[in-house]
Structure 1
Amino acid sequence: MSVVSTQNAEHYLWGDHCDGWHLAKSPNLSVIQESVPSGCAEIRHYHAHSEQFFYVLSGVATLELDGTIHQLAANQGLHVPVLMAHQLSNVNEETLVFIVVSTPPSHGDRINA
């Protein structure tokens, strides 16, 4: 085991100019740090098997969860149960940085709503 950060973690790009880093990646757990520039959003979707927890490190996340809009500031989080449609966006000026924890991992388990 070694210390992990965005400097040495597996990196990927998603959406319009968004970044992700796999901080932990196993068959049972995924921990990802993501960066979302102002004005960017993911596609509304749900997961058939994965539940997730979104935790904001900096900026403000707008997280629509089953029709309800939640504003998450730094040091706030929200649980997204299995099969719950959701969409994360950054409608603010500051870049959004957050952690998303998924169990089991959500890659390959995404269904666009």
Structure 2
Amino acid sequence: MAIVSTENALHYVWGSSCDGWHLAKTSGLSVIQERVPSGAGEMRHLHENAEQFFYVLSGIATLEVAGHVHKIKPLHGIHIQAKTPHQLSNQGESELTFLVISTPPSHGDRVEIFA
């Protein structure tokens, strides 16, 4: 057991300018801290098996979930059930930092939605 942070966690880049750090990665649980600069975001998608909880640390997340747009401010979160289309973006002026907790882990479980 070790203390983990963005300084020692496995890092990856997604999109053109976003960062993710695996804070916990097991067969049953994924905890990732992500950084999204202003104007960036992800493709609309769903997860076949994983449910997720997004928790904003700083900035404001815009999260479209099944056609409903939510603005999530710091220290607030939202739970997304499996098979639910969603898309996260940073439409604010400041950097967005958040945690996404998935069970089971969502990598390899993603289906992009082209509409």
Q: Does TM, scored on the shorter chain, surpass 0.5?
A: yes
The equivalent of 2:49 in structure 1 is 49
Give the TM-score normalised by structure 2: 0.98
Matched to 2:74, the amino acid is A
- What SS is found at the alignment partner of 1:22? strand
Measure, in 2, the Cα distance between the counterparts of 1:15 and 1:109: 17
In the TM superposition, residue 16 of structure 1 has moved relative to its aligned partner by 1.8
Aligned residues: 113
Q: Could you tell me which residue of structure 2 aligns to residue 68 of structure 1?
A: 68
CA distance in 2, matches of 1:91, 1:63: 10
Counterpart in 2 of 1:4? 4
- SS of equivalent residue, structure 2 residue 41: coil
In 2, distance between residues paired with 1:4 and 1:89? Answer: 26
Q: Which contiguous aligned blocks of 4+ residues in structure 1 show a shift greater than 2 angstroms?
A: none
Q: Which runs of 5+ in 2 are unaligned?
A: none
Percent of counterpart pairs with the same letter? Answer: 59
Give, in whole Å, the separation in 1 of the partners of 2:81 and 2:5.
27
- TM-score between the two structures when normalised by the length of structure 1: 0.99
The 3-state SS of whatever aligns with 1:87 is: strand
The one-letter amino acid of 2:5's match is: S
Q: Compute the displacement of 1:48 (Å).
A: 0.3
Instruction: State yes or no: 1:37 paired with 2:9.
Output: no
- Superposed CA RMSD in Å reads 0.3
